[in-house]
Structure 1
């Protein structure tokens, strides 16, 4: 619907659209003999700028308004902000009002002046909670999309950092920004993301998690094909590697893609510490991930099906601890695992490290009570506690949840097939991981298709070489833009 030249018709239509919307401020003014209608949403705008500067100047400082092109005249002579535009469709004007801008309509004009006046109530930039780093920046993303893009652009001062903004959600009209480094990111991946974002319609998007589920292809997999982060430095580093960041308004998390299994084992402060310490910690993370997935299943398989694998004294000790326990070993393990999982879910609702403390300490307390009541054996409590500790070492919560789910799959196989079932289950998981891709990138890179990048990605895989040795970007980037570091003796590759 086009804006009418008769202001009364426009006002009537706006009143109809915003009926029973008490937070929408609307007022008709008479400025120099011309009727003007102002509309905005209360507490979503900078009232000092709109009312204290713009409207004040229009009413008390400006002379007569022109009969034609009044919006362009005000843009040039009355509006202090540069971020203004004109629209001729009433739907566009209403969308701008709902987005936090101010719309001004004029009599005998088919255009409305839109002033960028957004000032949403939001929390300030705070410390990261789920990705705590001892060394490095402490700031984290917030629920404001524009604040998040600024936090990234503050770290990458390059005009080749592109930000493509769109709106998703028929009713929510949620702002989504795709950020990438032009010349480094692969154009085919950028285009693929555009198609996926435009390939569906939905009522509303309120967090990046919803967008992730709607755009991933292997929806049946427990392993995420998007990486989430709340750290601006991690997002900026990913962009410099040729990856793409999706910033969703109202979400304190940013999606990074493509991603591989190796990316989930890389913590933000890995690149701020000495390489020897980082290598040691990386190896621990991989070992802990395998332990979190397989330890309960192996215990069931050995204790129930292959006790001959244990020394006689250890087997007798296990048997003594189970005297009087009414449940078989698989049931003991499942009961304790469920208890730890329930405590972990409860702990997620607590701030900071309190959640992890509740998951471990609370689980041990319950385990000790179960041992005292002769419901489970002490060895089961030890196995489950070690499994929980191992899962906490995985830097990404979404990725750790996949191992927690696979753990129960292996427990069930071990309960029926023993150690053979655990090995069979691990083989099926490995085959599944080998079949996954993230926007065309194999999920197990750099451990598969090693010749695709001349084995260069191994330098930041299970171990991390010194930074001056990691001279090339990973497989995500364009082949012509792989080099990212040079010494003084080498040719300047950044021109």
Structure 2
């Protein structure tokens, strides 16, 4: 257990920067590309275990010298239309062309195919066997020629992917209706459509010694904080696992605090939300096969904002944000306050209401705390059942189950009707929290507050709130305080937190997140590194001329 804890916390210690672009090939066999085509095909088939989805197309090219050529690709990962039209058709048509150039050697044929025949977008030479396998398993098409110790890697990635659909967990009435998919290229392109700037940089790498998952880091050069960017690269570079199954794996590895209930990394399925956060100086991490990218750093107030807040009037958006924060407090403290008042402080309840509550509890065999825990657990079970079951059946189970069980429990005298109202109100309030990661944290903390209320009454609730605020103030997200801009106190950044000011007043970026270009206005050309480098070179040349 101690060794696992040391390994888990080791990634958060600062040290020498680890190379994050080093490809892990320990799991691949140490073989080389042979001069003989048959040996290359045998080695590839042997490494892949004679996999049934490996397609091999062999033919001959060149006149009068016929050279053996083989085309390899993985079914389902490559676009057969591109392979057929831009590679096979072009090469087979060249075989029957009597006026074509006659490449006498395999190297001449290799150059002729690369420069005159292939019409795909990207063609790259591969001289390493392991890199050739990685390209093949990434959906590219490999071209091998007998008598040559190198191959051609042609970009023909494709296959069946899910179409772009409307967001399911973050819907908007006036905003865009597109959401991310499982394709990394599609996701980065959706963000680039919104930020048409050469300063939007995308750095790709592969993570996972076995899975070799494609991961992309996206940021706006000149706006992002360089210290933040280096910290992100350093933490990602220290991830040493066999499999990267999704963005959640990276999230758990690069988190600042493993044991905090609060989410310290923001997730979304909307491209406009990613674009807006990038323009504030944040960094986005995309993982191939996952439609949910990571945005960091994250602050507490960010989880009560939605994309639709920026498509409606500022006063309506401010009211809705305030409503969400109030619902958050009801979800967190509602059952615990009911337990504390009814168990320890009944004198604080108005007499008519107290008489009504006590009359309802006649015949209930459990204390208030046990009653509340039973009802909350029942509701959590119904919610989980509704999520896991098929959508039409799940909605019926969650709605009908709550009504039937609630009414039956009250009729049987197991719980009081007031407790059903409290639990139902808490559940409805929880649905107003727009991001489920924050909702999951509140669901967990609610039970802790109920235990404190049952043990010490309002004193326990107050103690729990103080401890929770103190813990939240100590949480960091990539060096940024989680309660920014409330702690530390930065009044200038309050304009887009719990309340949203009109957009004419949103002229600056958050100061702790962005420390390079605070103002949202100015010359955009100054963001790029080329302008600054050229200016520095001009200043140095002028200084040298003055000295001479």
> TM exceeds 0.5?
yes
Whole-angstrom CA distance in 2 between matches of 1:465 and 1:359: 38
Cα offsets for 1:23-71 (capped at 9, x unmatched): 1112332222111122111122121221333122212225333522543
- What's the CA shift for 1:18? 2.2
1:13 aligns with 2:59: no
| 1:128 corresponding residue in structure 2 | 167
1:45 aligns with 2:81: no
Q: Is the 8 A contact 2:87 2:120 kept in 1?
A: no
Q: Is the 8 A contact 1:344 1:356 kept in 2?
A: no
| 2:313 corresponding residue in structure 1 | 274
Whole-angstrom CA distance in 2 between matches of 1:154 and 1:44: 25
Q: 1:146 aligns with which of 161, 181, 185?
A: 185
Q: 2:499 aligns with which of 436, 442, 463?
A: 463
Whole-angstrom CA distance in 2 between matches of 1:286 and 1:280: 10
- What's the CA shift for 1:367? 1.4
Q: Is the 8 A contact 2:163 2:181 kept in 1?
A: yes
Q: 1:322 aligns with which of 358, 361, 373?
A: 361
5+ residue gaps, structure 2: 1-30, 527-548
| 2:56 corresponding residue in structure 1 | 26
| 1:488 corresponding residue in structure 2 | none
- What's the CA shift for 1:359? 4.5
| 1:308 corresponding residue in structure 2 | 347
Q: Is the 8 A contact 1:170 1:202 kept in 2?
A: yes
1:366 aligns with 2:405: yes
TM-score normalised by length of structure 1 = 0.94
Cα offsets for 1:299-319 (capped at 9, x unmatched): 101100111111111111111
Q: What is the count of residue pairs matched by the alignment?
A: 487
Aligned positions of 1:95-494 closer than 5 A: 95-349=134-388, 359=398, 362-451=401-490, 455-475=491-511, 477-485=513-521
Moved more, 22-31 or 368-377: 22-31
Call closer, same or farther: CA 1:438–1:138 in 2, change over 3 Å: same
RMSD, matched Cα? 1.9
- What's the CA shift for 1:492? 5.8
Cα offsets for 1:269-321 (capped at 9, x unmatched): 00010011111111111111111001101110110011111111111111100
Whole-angstrom CA distance in 1 between matches of 2:503 and 2:389: 37
TM-score normalised by length of structure 2 = 0.85
Whole-angstrom CA distance in 2 between matches of 1:319 and 1:330: 15
| 2:542 corresponding residue in structure 1 | none
Secondary structure of 2:516's counterpart equals: helix
Whole-angstrom CA distance in 1 between matches of 2:296 and 2:471: 19
Q: Is the 8 A contact 2:34 2:40 kept in 1?
A: yes
Q: Is the 8 A contact 2:37 2:144 kept in 1?
A: yes
Whole-angstrom CA distance in 2 between matches of 1:285 and 1:353: 28
Whole-angstrom CA distance in 1 between matches of 2:383 and 2:339: 23
| 1:59 corresponding residue in structure 2 | 92
Secondary structure of 2:381's counterpart equals: helix
Secondary structure of 1:431's counterpart equals: helix
Whole-angstrom CA distance in 2 between matches of 1:261 and 1:355: 31
Cα offsets for 1:132-164 (capped at 9, x unmatched): 112200111111111111111111100100111
Secondary structure of 2:38's counterpart equals: helix
Displaced runs of 4 or more, over 4 A: 350-361, 491-495
Moved more, 69-78 or 239-248: 69-78
Whole-angstrom CA distance in 2 between matches of 1:426 and 1:373: 35
5+ residue gaps, structure 1: 486-490
Cα offsets for 1:187-212 (capped at 9, x unmatched): 11111111111102212112211211
Call closer, same or farther: CA 1:52–1:457 in 2, change over 3 Å: same
Whole-angstrom CA distance in 1 between matches of 2:171 and 2:360: 39
- What's the CA shift for 1:353? 10
| 2:534 corresponding residue in structure 1 | none
Secondary structure of 2:274's counterpart equals: helix
Q: Is the 8 A contact 1:71 1:111 kept in 2?
A: no
Secondary structure of 2:157's counterpart equals: coil
Secondary structure of 2:494's counterpart equals: helix
Whole-angstrom CA distance in 2 between matches of 1:344 and 1:186: 41
Q: Is the 8 A contact 1:183 1:478 kept in 2?
A: no
- What's the CA shift for 1:107? 1.5
Call closer, same or farther: CA 1:105–1:492 in 2, change over 3 Å: closer
Cα offsets for 1:395-451 (capped at 9, x unmatched): 100111001100000011111111111111111111111110101110001111124
Whole-angstrom CA distance in 1 between matches of 2:72 and 2:323: 58
Q: Is the 8 A contact 1:34 1:65 kept in 2?
A: no
Call closer, same or farther: CA 1:259–1:359 in 2, change over 3 Å: farther
| 2:533 corresponding residue in structure 1 | none
Secondary structure of 1:450's counterpart equals: coil
Moved more, 38-47 or 53-62: 53-62
Q: Is the 8 A contact 2:297 2:513 kept in 1?
A: no
- What's the CA shift for 1:382? 0.6
